[in-house]
């Protein structure tokens, strides 16, 4: 097994020396203009009286009956200017802060929230429960390549308050920044913001160091969810970052063209950002456009597709041209409907490579998810880790100087010699051979290397048994427990979620 040692959590963004641009300036201008035209002429549905009123007061054209908001271009432009390009998604310690917009490279998320898990002991699929959220948070805490986290699975045993229980399990098991994408009503939002405030040490400290944030998904095409948008308003009011995710599906919820997907997705994201800038000027926001294709025979949803991912990467230029940070490309475990298939590996490599090279501020990365994000297999994380190791190597480029040109070595060894027995080779060669689960020597005669899946399983087993994330203060833990217990008893919350 790769040698693992107990250590405190750390994070590792990947910064690329290789840069790609997918759109030229003319393309960017045209797509931005189409998004503005969509906002001004077609509009976006916000089924929340609160949101509609905020838009109307700011001068947008609001049809309260249809819940449709049309936003004049000048309003969009004016309010986007208030959105910060740089801010921090804070961890519990400053060393774990993701400093967005400061040129540190791409920070990777574990994403979620899958409803099912491959049971670590039996290897069989089952619905996920709260203890799975806790275990995965612990694993995420251990691996530096995961900088930011979502609860990776849902606490399916906790009913309406599953998202709140999930937040508690994560706060208790990792020091890394936590983002939720399932707290989709105002009441749950308030409970979890209170929890984050307890973790941060008060409301002001939470605003200074937001250890918690929200991502909500619009309903393509061109609509928002009531609960989600009201949750977002509560997060922004507390100074917590909010991301707006658009998931246009080509030919289904968006036109069958990549450019149109970008325009529709951008319009959805900008509409959300504008709302929050009106309500809480200067609120940290970001967007993400995660297009997908469908299998045109079965309707199966595929976001690992190359068409989807190059489109998601192209959105980076659009967000940056609007002064917004962006989360791009979704390594959600491939579209394959099979455990650990070749297809998952293929997709996960190009998805994350594109994100890093195109300059995404954040990207959905090593999540241990498969089957298009619907199934968590914890043993997949070491595989994801290998992929990111390769991406890091590739995007670092090549160092060229006197030492690395090594003319002195070449002159000394000369034609037909060997470089193997050299001191410098002894120092450098291990660097060209980073630890990998692929090359564990097998004890079985006739078998060169051990089964990588077995090695990966052992690694995760080690982490679960030996890693101890820095615990929260006992008083804080108890306070979190109290808030969750109160949420469990809150009939208004249950009604809100059921009637959503």
Partner 1 sequence: MDNKELFARMEQSVINYDKDEAVRLANMALEKGIEPVAAINEGFVKGIQVVGDLFGREEIFLPELVMGADAMTAATDILGEAIKKSGGKAKYLATGIAGTVEGDIHVIGINLVTTFLVANGFNIKFLGTNVSSSLFVDQAKELKPDLILLSALLTTTMPNQKEVIDSLKEAGIRENVKVIVGGAPVSQDWADQIGADGYGENAGAAVEVAKKLMGI
Residues 167-226 that bind partner 1 (CB under 8 A): 219, 225
Residue 185, CA distances (Å) to 164, 190, 234, 494 in order: 11, 9, 9, 10
| Shortest distance (Å) from residue 272 CB to partner 1 | 17
Q: Which residues in the 254-283 window bind partner 1 by CB under 8 A? A: none
Residues 117-156, interacting with partner 1 (CB under 8 A): 127, 154, 156
Nearest-approach distance from CB 51 to partner 1, in angstroms: 16
Q: Which of 59, 159, 397, 471 binds partner 1 (CB under 8 A)?
A: 159
Is 497 a binder of partner 1 (CB under 8 A)? yes
Per the listing, tokens 């982490």 go with: 463
Helix segments in 358-406, DSSP class H: 381-396, 402-405
Does residue 160 interact with partner 1 by CB under 8 A? yes
Residue of 374, 390, 422, 425 that binds partner 1 (CB under 8 A) = 374
Which DSSP category does 249 fall into? B
- C-alpha 17/C-alpha 10 separation (Å) is 22
Return the number of the residue (115 or 201) whose C-beta is nearest partner 1: 115
Comparison of 299 and 415: residue with beta carbon closer to partner 1:
299
Q: Taking CB under 8 A as the rule, does residue 57 contact partner 1?
A: no
Question: Strand 116-118's sheet: what is its strand order?
Answer: 125-127, 116-118, 375-376, 369-370
User: For residues 72 and 115, which CB has a smaller minimum distance to partner 1 in the complex?
Assistant: 115
Q: Which of 294, 394, 413, 476 binds partner 1 (CB under 8 A)?
A: 294
Q: Tokens 């491939």 appear where?
A: 334
Residue for token digits 């992929």? 387
User: What number of residues does the chain have?
Assistant: 500
Smallest distance from partner 1 to CB 139, Å: 22
**Strand 125-127 relative to strand 116-118, pairing:** antiparallel
In the beta sheet, which residues pair with residue 62?
Answer: 69
Least distance CB 131 / partner 1 (angstroms) = 16
**CA gap 485, 311 in Å, rounded:** 43
Output 225 or 392, the one with its CB closest to partner 1.
Answer: 225
Tokens 């941060």: give the residue.
200
Residue with Cβ nearer partner 1 (297 or 475) = 297
In sequence order, the 6+-apart residues with CB closer than 8 A to the CB of 226 are 47, 48, 500
Which residues between 58 and 87 bind partner 1 (CB under 8 A)? Answer: none
For binding to partner 1 (CB under 8 A), which residues are involved? 115-116, 127, 154, 156, 159-160, 162, 219, 225, 249, 251-253, 294, 296-300, 374, 497-500
């Amino acid at each position: 097994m790769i040698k693992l040692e107990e250590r405190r959590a750390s994070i590792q963004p990947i910064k690329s020396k290789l840069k790609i641009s997918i759109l030229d300036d003319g393309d960017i201008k045209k797509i931005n203009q189409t998004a503005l035209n969509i906002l001004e002429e077609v509009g976006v549905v916000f089924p929340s009286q609160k949101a509609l009123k905020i838009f109307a007061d700011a001068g947008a054209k609001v049809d309260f009956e249809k819940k449709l908001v049309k936003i004049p271009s000048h309003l969009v432009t004016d309010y986007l200017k208030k959105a910060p390009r740089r801010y921090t998604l804070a961890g519990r310690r400053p060393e774990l802060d993701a400093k967005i917009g400061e040129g540190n490279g791409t920070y990777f998320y574990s994403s979620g929230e899958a409803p099912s898990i491959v049971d670590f002991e039996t290897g069989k699929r089952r619905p996920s429960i709260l203890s799975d959220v806790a275990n995965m948070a612990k694993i995420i805490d251990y691996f530096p390549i995961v900088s930011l986290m979502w609860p990776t699975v849902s606490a399916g045993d906790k009913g309406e308050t599953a998202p709140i229980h999930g937040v508690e399990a994560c706060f208790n098991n990792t020091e890394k920044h936590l983002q939720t994408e399932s707290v989709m009503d105002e009441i749950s939002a308030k409970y979890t913001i209170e929890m984050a405030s307890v973790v941060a040490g008060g409301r002001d400290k939470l605003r200074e160091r937001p250890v918690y944030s929200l991502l909500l998904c619009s309903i393509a095409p061109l609509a928002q969810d009531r609960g989600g948008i009201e949750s977002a308003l509560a997060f922004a009011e507390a100074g917590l970052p909010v991301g707006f995710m658009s998931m246009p599906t080509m030919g289904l919820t968006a036109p069958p063209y990549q450019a149109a997907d970008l325009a529709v997705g951008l319009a959805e994201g900008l509409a959300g950002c504008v709302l929050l800038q009106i309500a809480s000027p200067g609120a940290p926001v970001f967007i993400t456009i995660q297009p997908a294709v469908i299998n045109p025979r079965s309707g199966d949803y595929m976001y690992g597709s190359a068409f989807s991912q190059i489109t998601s990467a192209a959105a980076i230029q659009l967000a940056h041209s609007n002064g917004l940070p962006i989360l791009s490309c979704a390594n959600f475990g491939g579209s394959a409907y099979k455990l650990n298939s070749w297809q998952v590996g293929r997709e996960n490599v190009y998805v994350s490579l594109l994100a890093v090279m195109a300059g995404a501020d954040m990207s959905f990365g090593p999540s241990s998810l498969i089957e298009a994000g619907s199934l968590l297999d914890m043993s997949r994380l070491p595989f994801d880790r290998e992929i990111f190791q390769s991406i890091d190597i590739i995007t670092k480029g090549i160092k060229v100087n006197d030492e690395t040109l090594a003319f002195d070595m070449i002159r000394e060894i000369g034609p037909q010699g060997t470089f193997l027995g050299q001191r410098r080779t002894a120092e450098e060669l291990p660097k060209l051979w980073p630890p990998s689960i692929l090359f564990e020597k097998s004890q079985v005669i006739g078998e060169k290397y051990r089964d990588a899946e077995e090695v990966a399983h052992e690694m995760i087993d080690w982490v679960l048994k030996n890693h101890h994330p820095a615990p929260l203060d006992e008083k804080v833990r108890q306070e979190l427990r109290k808030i969750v217990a109160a949420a469990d008893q809150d009939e208004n919350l249950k009604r809100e979620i059921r009637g959503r």
